[in-house]
Structure 1
Amino acid sequence: MISVAFLSTPGLMDPLEPLLRRELPGLTCASWPEEASREAELAVCWKPQAGALAAMPNLKLIHSIAAGVDNILADPSVPDRPVCRIVDPDISVAMTEFVLWSTLYFHRDFDRVIDNARTGAWHRYAQRAPQDTRVGILGLGTLGTDAARRLVDLGFSVSAWSRSAKTADGIRTFSGAAALDAFLGEVDILVSLLPLTPSTLGLLNAERLSRLPKGAALVLCSRGEHLIADDLVALLRTGHLRGAVLDVFEREPLPADHPLWREPGVLVTPHMAAIASWMVIAQQIAENVRRLKRGEPLLNAVDRARGY
């Protein structure tokens, strides 16, 4: 049976080990940097230490425990081995719920009502029809497409931007770097669902966020590294942007003394938009181990050139 090494912050994968052992009887496990982990054939990762994967000579498969693999591929020393990610069918449902809630948070003025409640201010805002709120989705993959379709079902005016050309019923689509500014200029609520790649790192900076119409809001539930937080804060303080729901950050957990917690207009949530279940993670890793042994195509294999 294959040997596995867990590469993550201490304790993070404790729930995964017994589930993997149940799926793969006879599995041997170790955690980095234990000596046995260096001889493992399978690396199960979340933000592995730089250079760790390169120090595993028997490595046959690298597996993320999430949909994203940017935390693995950021290390230039990662060896040329298959990399796989997790695709939990319930993730799409959970992410869509979060996007719908965040959209309604701004569309129905809950952000303003909550602020008013702190001071006992009774003020009702004029209700807008959904079609009068323009929601823009950055990233039209599985998650972005599902969220966009549900927003269309609710009557919102929905557009989407993706790196390559895509189409979806009821959604105005934009593609390529040349179309990004035009897309941003027509968005009242911007939802980021992009993967993190070298081309999307720092994408949400002052130049691009300022392309949004005055009074627009941001919903970030992709990767914290997409956003230049200081640029967002500056645009909030000038009044160009209305607010932001931020679920992901460069450093997690977000330190309790971080100023974003107290920045007016910003709502911080603890990377809760969509979380894969440990059971699904164990099942998909185990299936890929079986496929690897049989020489079959792997589930959710990553195109390392694209980064996802």
Structure 2
Amino acid sequence: MSLLVVSPGKDPKAWVEALKEQHPGLNIYVYPEDHDKEEVEFALTWNHPRGIFQNYPNLKVIASMGAGVDHITSDEELPENVKITKVVDERLEEDMGTFVLSLVLAHQRNLLHYRESQINEKWDPVSYTRNNDVKVGILGIGNLGQSVANSLLKNGFQVIGFSKHKKEFENVESFAGEDELDDFLGQSDILVNMLPLTPDTEKILNKELFEKLPEGAYVINVARGEHLVEQDLLAKVDDGHLSGAALDVFWEEPIRDEHPFWKHPKIRVTPHIASVTHPNSVVPQIIENYERLQENEELKNVVERDKGY
């Protein structure tokens, strides 16, 4: 049995080295080098070419290099009998919590405003709201969302969470299902989108949703660019209903040179760096699943394909 690494546009060297260190006898192929497709039963991938896995008759597992799996599930030509796994990693969760907390604090203390003031050589103090008077809504509160919630709670913010099904977290008020979405949105002074990308959640950050947020709400998107209707966001920021936004993910990455987000004074842009997978941190769980496959044991972190996460 062989493992195939497929990561076009991403240097696989660190992944291959970590895999060999964890499992010295492992036979590894790197796409698109020549290899025997019939030998491959396990694939490790990020943004594979669409339809490629149809060419592997004995493939049993497709493992994502990161927590997200929409880059896999969006391929309409995936073999039906292949299992998909995702990464669950404490380091990723901690990094995400730290990043979102940084964005929330920067907004609370008006740091983007002061950066603009400095550029314009303008002394312009403005008032701020204390942390414990601000309610942060986490839209899609799973493992990563819980880490974000913990970071916010430690810093005195009120936190509420929304998910498809009811979840209970200490000190976090939980909302679930379509019937409770409006109530959740109406209380979110800052909205953090952490939803998985599925056909149901694509373009969910739109004009209708934004208008249900409180006047002056702030939007943070660290999930996927495809969640956001960009023109709707621009319109609601420009008309004053939203105070601004921090965006780490986009429909097209990198965003084009002339994109209106670049120079917008109320929109913060970062280059998809909220939480970056480190091979040495996650390869042990990849190897564990590889060995479980060999022993016909149940795999860990398997994605429910009908849900998309």
2:243 is matched with which residue? 242
Question: Can you give the 5+ residue segments of structure 2 that lack an aligned partner in the other structure?
Answer: none
Following TM superposition, by how much is the alpha carbon of 1:93 offset from its aligned partner in structure 2, in angstroms?
0.9
* CA contact 1:86–1:281 (8 Å) conserved in 2: yes
- SS at 1:225's partner residue? helix
- SS at 1:128's partner residue? coil
Following TM superposition, by how much is the alpha carbon of 1:146 offset from its aligned partner in structure 2, in angstroms?
2.3
* Deviations, residues 27-55 of structure 1 (Å, cap 9, x unaligned): 33333344426332221111111111122
1:190 is matched with which residue? 191
* CA contact 1:32–1:38 (8 Å) conserved in 2: no
CA distance in 2, matches of 1:156, 1:89: 22
- SS at 1:135's partner residue? strand
* 2:134 is equivalent to residue 133 of structure 1: yes
How many positions carry a matched residue from both structures?
307
Q: Is the deviation greater in 143-152 or in 264-273?
A: 143-152
Runs of 4+ in 1 over 4 A off after TM superposition: none
1:113 is matched with which residue? 114
1:60 is matched with which residue? 60
2:12 is matched with which residue? 13
Following TM superposition, by how much is the alpha carbon of 1:91 offset from its aligned partner in structure 2, in angstroms?
1.1
1:263 is matched with which residue? 264
Q: Is the deviation greater in 11-20 or in 262-271?
A: 11-20
Following TM superposition, by how much is the alpha carbon of 1:127 offset from its aligned partner in structure 2, in angstroms?
3.3
Alpha-carbon spacing, 1:196–1:131, altered in 2? closer, same or farther (3 Å): same
Amino acid at match of 1:307: G
TM-score normalised by structure 2 residue count: 0.93
2:95 is matched with which residue? 94
Matches within 5 A, 1:84-233: 84-233=85-234
* CA contact 2:97–2:150 (8 Å) conserved in 1: no
Amino acid at match of 1:90: R
* CA contact 2:98–2:151 (8 Å) conserved in 1: no
CA distance in 2, matches of 1:231, 1:12: 36
- SS at 2:13's partner residue? coil
CA distance in 2, matches of 1:102, 1:81: 38
1:76 is matched with which residue? 76
Alpha-carbon spacing, 1:36–1:267, altered in 2? closer, same or farther (3 Å): same
Amino acid at match of 1:75: D
* CA contact 2:186–2:213 (8 Å) conserved in 1: yes
1:275 is matched with which residue? 276
Alpha-carbon spacing, 1:10–1:95, altered in 2? closer, same or farther (3 Å): closer
- SS at 1:148's partner residue? helix
CA distance in 1, matches of 2:124, 2:36: 60
CA distance in 2, matches of 1:10, 1:30: 16
1:41 is matched with which residue? 41
* CA contact 1:5–1:38 (8 Å) conserved in 2: no
Amino acid at match of 1:48: H
Percent of counterpart pairs with the same letter?
A: 38
Question: Can you give the 5+ residue segments of structure 1 that lack an aligned partner in the other structure?
Answer: none
* CA contact 1:29–1:37 (8 Å) conserved in 2: no
* CA contact 2:292–2:299 (8 Å) conserved in 1: yes
Amino acid at match of 2:185: L
Following TM superposition, by how much is the alpha carbon of 1:307 offset from its aligned partner in structure 2, in angstroms?
1.5
- SS at 1:92's partner residue? helix
Q: Is the deviation greater in 91-100 or in 116-125?
A: 116-125
* CA contact 1:91–1:274 (8 Å) conserved in 2: yes
Amino acid at match of 2:280: M
Alpha-carbon spacing, 1:119–1:10, altered in 2? closer, same or farther (3 Å): closer
Alpha-carbon spacing, 1:125–1:37, altered in 2? closer, same or farther (3 Å): farther
CA distance in 2, matches of 1:249, 1:144: 19
Following TM superposition, by how much is the alpha carbon of 1:11 offset from its aligned partner in structure 2, in angstroms?
4.0
* CA contact 2:139–2:191 (8 Å) conserved in 1: yes
CA distance in 2, matches of 1:170, 1:68: 27
- SS at 1:41's partner residue? strand
Following TM superposition, by how much is the alpha carbon of 1:104 offset from its aligned partner in structure 2, in angstroms?
0.7
- RMSD, matched Cα: 1.7
CA distance in 2, matches of 1:235, 1:94: 29
* Deviations, residues 53-80 of structure 1 (Å, cap 9, x unaligned): 1221121211100011111011122112
* CA contact 2:86–2:301 (8 Å) conserved in 1: yes
* Deviations, residues 119-146 of structure 1 (Å, cap 9, x unaligned): 1111222232212212111112112122
Following TM superposition, by how much is the alpha carbon of 1:152 offset from its aligned partner in structure 2, in angstroms?
2.3
Amino acid at match of 1:65: M
Amino acid at match of 1:24: H
CA distance in 2, matches of 1:24, 1:155: 44
* CA contact 1:31–1:37 (8 Å) conserved in 2: no
